[in-house]
Amino acid sequence: MVHRLRLIFRFLSVNARHIWRCRDRGALRGAGPPQRGVAEDQTEGGADAPQAWTYRPECVSGVRGETSPHLTALLPFCKMLVCYVFKWFTFFGRSVKLGYLEVPMVIKRVTMQDIADSLGLSRNTVSKALNGNPAVPASTRNTVIQKAASLGYKNYAPAEQSRTAGDKGGTIAFFASLMPGRNHFGSLFLTGFTERMSSSHYTLSFYILRPEDIAAGREPMNFDREHIAGILCIEMFDAPYCDVICAMNKPVLFADTYVFSARRELRADIIMMENRKSTEVLVADMIHKGARSIGFIGDRWHCQGFAERWEGFNTALVQAGLSADPAQCVLDDNREPYNDSAWMTEKLRAMGNLPRAFICANDILAFSVLEALKTLGKSVPQDVMVAGFDNNRETQLLQPRLSTVHIPSYEMGIAAADIMLRRIERPGFPYTTTYMQTIPQLREST
């Protein structure tokens, strides 16, 4: 689209420059027959008086009186094009540079009606979903929240919501640095959690934390601590901010957390998926099929889950009399663009000799590795075997299908709700770390 607009604007600019050149030949300055009572070679006020610059389509070639059909036809088209382009830019809210033209745009405010239109729902349903109304099915509520996050809608938790929570229950605050997408384990996790909490008359308020809030240790916007019964955290891996959350003196549950070895006393419950044994099974299967060199993809210190997968990876290698070669691993900080296949391609190319197999910390990283291997002309699994972790929906749509580890996300959400309810009822109960069993899925990619 942008390429086409560049061509159109370039065409318009060429005509504009041509019109500008015509002014020197008298096509634009005072073009047309002289006014009555004014000499043809003199304007009112004398020869030195400033002359008005007017557009007349009589001449583009510089010959007075000659009409240009191309220019006449072009003018209404230009007007329509400019209006359309400005509407298009305004909708996307960007400043876009087209060749030598830069158009700054005003960001359009996303409303509930925008969310409703994009999902084919009523505005009333969207409002109830965003406000945690228990009458809205959990699946619909999660769909609305995900769409709101993708469109940039920020008001997930209006202040008045906490005050209208059910009499027998209350409100659970959901903290996250980003809203789990449909392929994230947190999507089904939230469905199970909200369904179980709804049966006990609890609603869920969503708070997406901005990086500046986390860095400053600030509570999220519209957060009313006095009317919150508990806090659920997903993708919350900043250790100092986790301490801030625990200091709120509310029941807190983390679904995965930052690496335990770096942790101070964490006054909260934790629920995890099992990571070590499942990763060991994947690596052992690769070794059984002849792999003697296996690399790891992912920041092993990003979170406790990744750290445990790294431990399982190394344990399986040691048991087979092998060891990990850092030169055949991609262990960069998680802030690096792992999802960019071009970046991953350069990382793999720099290895020189690729390992026989890769264990990826999750499925998204595995997708990036598969794209990179395809760019490098490598076949999977003939040249390199690849496995991921999470078992998201796309793993079985790939060719070959991706070996991975299944997380029972929905059931994990139900278990998390039970932990939260117990903590609310018995605040003095010892803090727990709960693991949900995972299931390796051995498929064609290995």
- Express each pLDDT in 250-294 by its tens digit: 999 999 999 975 566 789 999 999 999 999 999 999 999 999 999
User: What mean pLDDT comes out for the span 21-37?
Assistant: 43
Q: Which two tokens stand for residue 33?
A: 């027959």
Q: What is the per-residue pLDDT for 78?
A: 54
pLDDT band at residue 446 using 50, 70 and 90 as cut-offs = very high
**15-19, 48-52, 236-240, 383-387: least confident range:** 48-52
Q: How far is CA 197 from CA 125, 156, 168, in A?
A: 20, 18, 12
If we measure between CA atoms, which residue out of 398, 410, 349, 271 comes closest to residue 387?
398
Q: What's the per-residue H, E or C state across the chain?
A: CHHHHHHHHHHHHHHHHHHHHHHHHCCCECCCCCCCCCCCCCCCCCCCCCCCECCCCCCCCCCCCCCCHHHHHHHHHHHHHHHHHHHHHHHHCCCEEECCEEECCCCCCCCHHHHHHHHCCCHHHHHHHHCCCCCCCHHHHHHHHHHHHHHCCCCCCCHHHHHCCCCCCEEEEEEECCCCCCCCHHHHHHHHHHHHHHCCCEEEEEEECCHHHHHHCCCCCCCCHHHCCEEEEECCCCHHHHHHHHCCCCCEEEECCCCHHHCCCCCCEEEEECCHHHHHHHHHHHHHCCCCCEEEECCCCCCHHHHHHHHHHHHHHHHCCCCCCHHHCECCCCCCCCCCHHHHHHHHHCCCCCCCEEEECCHHHHHHHHHHHHHCCCCCCCCCEEECCECCHHHHCCCCCCEEEECCHHHHHHHHHHHHHHHHHCCCCCCCEEEECCEEECCCCC
For residue 66, is pLDDT > 60? no
pLDDT band at residue 144 using 50, 70 and 90 as cut-offs = confident
Q: What is the per-residue pLDDT for 77?
A: 55
8 Å CB contact between 333 and 299: yes
Cα(275)–Cα(278) distance, integer angstroms: 6
- Pairing type for strands 230-234 and 170-176 reads parallel
8 Å CB contact between 227 and 163: yes
Q: What is the per-residue pLDDT for 146?
A: 77
Q: What is the per-residue pLDDT for 265?
A: 74
8 Å CB contact between 73 and 41: no
**113-117, 176-180, 381-385: least confident range:** 176-180
Cα(196)–Cα(190) distance, integer angstroms: 10
Q: What is the per-residue pLDDT for 417?
A: 96
Rg for the chain, CA atoms, rounded: 31
For residue 376, is pLDDT > 50? yes
Cα(213)–Cα(229) distance, integer angstroms: 22
**Percent of the chain with pLDDT strictly greater than 90:** 51
Q: Which two tokens stand for residue 398?
A: 């790939």
Q: Which residues contact 383 (CB under 8 A, 6 or more apart)?
A: 354, 373
pLDDT band at residue 44 using 50, 70 and 90 as cut-offs = very low
Q: What is the per-residue pLDDT for 149?
A: 75
pLDDT band at residue 231 using 50, 70 and 90 as cut-offs = very high
User: What mean pLDDT comes out for the span 46-65?
Assistant: 41
Q: Which two tokens stand for residue 171?
A: 């409100």
**146-150, 376-380, 440-444: least confident range:** 146-150
More confident of the two residues 279 and 227? 279
More confident of the two residues 144 and 173? 173
Q: Across 29-38, 148-157, 361-370, 390-399, which has the greatest mean pLDDT?
A: 361-370
Q: What is the mean pLDDT of the chain?
A: 79
8 Å CB contact between 366 and 404: yes
pLDDT band at residue 380 using 50, 70 and 90 as cut-offs = very high
Q: Which residues contact 184 (CB under 8 A, 6 or more apart)?
A: 392
For residue 45, is pLDDT > 70? no
Q: Which two tokens stand for residue 242?
A: 């986790």
**40-44, 184-188, 250-254, 428-432: least confident range:** 40-44
124-138, pLDDT tens digit by residue?
888 888 877 767 787
**Domains of the chain (ranges, CATH numbers):** 2-34+50-103 (no CATH), 112-273 (3.40.50), 276-388 (3.40.50.2300)
Is the torsion defined by CA of 85, 90, 92, 96 positive or negative?
Answer: positive
**12-26, 89-103, 316-330: least confident range:** 89-103
The helix-helix angle for 112-119 and 138-151 (nearest 10°) equals: 120
For residue 159, is pLDDT > 70? no
For residue 204, is pLDDT > 60? yes
User: What mean pLDDT comes out for the span 355-366?
Assistant: 96
**Percent of the chain with pLDDT strictly greater than 70:** 70
For residue 95, is pLDDT > 80? no
Cα(430)–Cα(413) distance, integer angstroms: 20
Q: What is the per-residue pLDDT for 156?
A: 55
pTM of the predicted structure, to 2 decimals: 0.65
Which residue type, as a one-letter code, is found at position 215? A
For residue 215, is pLDDT > 90? yes
8 Å CB contact between 185 and 118: no
Q: What's the per-residue H, E or C state across 290-314?
A: CCCCEEEECCCCCCHHHHHHHHHHH
**95-109, 179-193, 322-336: least confident range:** 95-109
More confident of the two residues 394 and 432? 432
For residue 408, is pLDDT > 50? yes
For residue 427, is pLDDT > 60? yes
